[in-house]
Structure 1
Amino acid sequence: MTSRDDTLLTPDNHAVLFIDHQYLQLLSVRSHTAEEVVSNAVLTAKTAKIFEVPFLFTTAIAERQELIKDIQAVDPNQVPIDRTGLNSWDDPRVVEWVKNTGKKKLVIAGLWTEVCLNMAVLSTLAAGYEVYIVTDASGGSSVRAHDDAVLRMTQAGARPINALAYISELQRDWKNEKTASQVVNLVASMGGTFGQGLMWEWQLLDLQEGTR
């Protein structure tokens, strides 16, 4: 059950921005492995799609570098908003898209953490939005650069979250059957101990249902 003043993210109270998940940026990420960033960005995008949350892709100088194909594949028909500037919030098309969603909460991930993500987060906070940064779907040029940028953003009021916390927060209750099986299958397909634990929990719930 949710309420109008719910502090948690819900499928209907936010929008998601993916900022510049492109190959050249990814090549110089050193705060995470490339596989981690792509996997968590894909997980975040697929989560948004499952829960019908509006999400936007942006790129910088796209003729020189594409959006990462695995991320674009989540919504292959979406044409990313392409810019030359470092701050996506300086682009009126991005501002218009966000305003048109009618959402006051934004979940944002991007490359690099200390540049394009940081600028967008600080600007959207200043514009009055409640902002969540997906720290493991973002990456910086070094661990220090990433951590310093996350610290700066959180000190300004942003709220850190990771990809698995995001999907869990939107699902929230296994009684939400419309999305439950999709969530379990998605997380299980991504692998890892969390996915295995979720499958085990889901099997327990199935057994409990069968004994009633």
Structure 2
Amino acid sequence: MTTKTKYSEFLTPENAVLAMIDHQTGLMVGLGDEHPTVLKNSIMGLIRTAKAIDLPSVVTASLPDGPNGPIMPEIPEVLGVDVIERAGQINAWDSADFRGAIEQTGRKKIIMAGIVTDVCLLFPALSAVEEGYDVYAVIDASGTWNKTVQEVTIQRLTQAGVKVTTWASVLAELMNDWRSDYGDSLGRVLAEHTTKYGYVMNSYFAKG
């Protein structure tokens, strides 16, 4: 009899929490691994996925009154949550408020995105894995200085057992079945935030 492990168990709306880490305006202006419009679209797709299924979500920022700047306003607006402002910890997992908000959900699978990928995403992902969490690093909703930094970070994440993924893959995993209660709402998120598949979805919705 096969026993499921965290590597074969899928995300569900009941077992996961979303963590959006340091998507701050002062950090985003220096990103070079993805076009800003594409990155923003991926971020919006991820948070609207979470909103569509009422997924518990935690948003944090490091020194938002300093050079890092405030969080993208769309993130707390869409998710309907307050931003946890850290006093200065670089690794968000070192913040008792952030870690406590994750723990309070009682969920062990963390869908995590952050800017910059090699710090804001990497460090808490490594720390969470060490404490027994199953972390999904959403690379296309994260960003860093250039492709080399992104590629090196992905290797370190996978070495630690973090699941590297994309926002649309997360959406599909959470939906699981087009006939689910979330099929229509998640399908509309796909239609609005994936250009090519969006054409397919828009044609389908137009028939209705």
TM-score, normalised relative to structure 2: 0.89
Number of aligned residue pairs: give it. 200
Cα deviation, 1:95-130, whole Å, max 9, x if unaligned, reads 111111111111100000011111011100111101
Provide the C-alpha distance between the structure 2 equivalents of 1:180 and 1:108, rounded to a whole number of angstroms: 23
1:182 aligns with 2:195: no
- How many angstroms does 1:190 deviate by? 2.0
The counterpart of 2:116, out of the listed 100, 112, 120, is: 112
Q: Are residues 202 and 161 of structure 1, via their aligned partners in 2, closer, same or farther at CA, if it must alter by over 3 Å?
A: farther
Q: Partner letter of residue 58 of structure 2?
A: L
Answer whether contact 2:20 2:58 (CA < 8 A) is retained. Answer: yes
- How many angstroms does 1:75 deviate by? 2.7
1:170 aligns with 2:174: yes
The counterpart of 2:152, out of the listed 140, 148, 151, is: 148
* 1:210 corresponds to: none
- Aligned CA RMSD, in angstroms, stands at 1.9
* 1:135 corresponds to: 139
* 1:209 corresponds to: none
* 1:56 corresponds to: 58
TM-score, normalised relative to structure 1: 0.88
Q: Partner letter of residue 162 of structure 1?
A: T
Of residues 98-107 and 29-38 in structure 1, the stretch that sits farther from structure 2 once superposed is 29-38
- How many angstroms does 1:33 deviate by? 1.5
The counterpart of 1:93, out of the listed 83, 88, 97, is: 97
Q: Partner letter of residue 195 of structure 1?
A: G
* 2:33 corresponds to: 31
Provide the C-alpha distance between the structure 2 equivalents of 1:194 and 1:135, rounded to a whole number of angstroms: 20
Cα deviation, 1:53-104, whole Å, max 9, x if unaligned, reads 101110011123111122232134x221111111000001111111111111
Answer whether contact 2:59 2:83 (CA < 8 A) is retained. Answer: yes
Answer whether contact 1:38 1:70 (CA < 8 A) is retained. Answer: no
Q: Which runs of 4+ in 1 moved over 3 A?
A: 198-204
1:19 aligns with 2:21: yes
Answer whether contact 2:16 2:107 (CA < 8 A) is retained. Answer: yes
Q: Which residues of structure 1 form unaligned runs of 5+?
A: 207-212
Answer whether contact 2:109 2:134 (CA < 8 A) is retained. Answer: yes
Percent identical among aligned pairs is 26
